[in-house]
Amino acid sequence: MNIEKEIKILLTEEEYNRIGRLFEWDTEIAQTNHYYRCIGKSHYSSVRVRETGGRFYLQVKVPVSEDGALFIKKEYERELDSVPPALSAWELRELTGTELGDAVLMGELFTLRKTAHIENCEICLDRSEYLGITDFELELEYTGEYPQDLVDKMKELGIDTERRPIGKYARFIQAKGRDNK
């Protein structure tokens, strides 16, 4: 288990392009999140298999706290051989120690991610495509102290760091709900 601390900011395409020119990016990777819906359980955990570089990782994120754009989650992960059409309640309980129920595959979200590193912070600039939608997001994932200088830099660029964002999983679920109507 890992504790993840990140600031999420949804961006316009113009803001995405502005930030894209601001940093020297260390890497650019393509990844696909295959999202699952847990049957019969009401919770705010996200279940996915992340596919990147020909490898597959079952990842479950369980919320610890949320404060505006700041999200803190327990993150569980293990490698798989492929993307299964379903995950058993037993398999998810073995990984997390939490009762999540059986999970079924709902669909996928493709992301092109650029990353840069400044001190104790990984900066991720994402362009995501799913269900006919393209959106843009900035994630500041950090260890140690809150990256106030970086947040202030975003404010100077006119980026509203107080927007209450919706994570990729929730955006996908919302779009899937609209798609099914």
The whole-angstrom distance between residue 46's C-alpha and the CA centroid of its chain comes to: 9
Other CB atoms within 10 A of residue 123 CB: 22
DSSP helix/strand/coil, 115: strand
d(CA 66, CA 49): 23
**pLDDT surpassing 60 at residue 181:** no
DSSP helix/strand/coil, 99: coil
Summarised one tens digit per residue, pLDDT across range 102-118 is 999 999 999 999 999 98
d(CA 149, CA 129): 30
Summarised one tens digit per residue, pLDDT across range 35-91 is 999 887 656 688 999 999 999 999 998 877 666 656 677 889 999 999 999 999 999
pTM: 0.85
Average pLDDT over residues 154-164: 84
* Domains of the chain, each with CATH number or no CATH: 2-179 (2.40.320.10)
d(CA 126, CA 135): 8
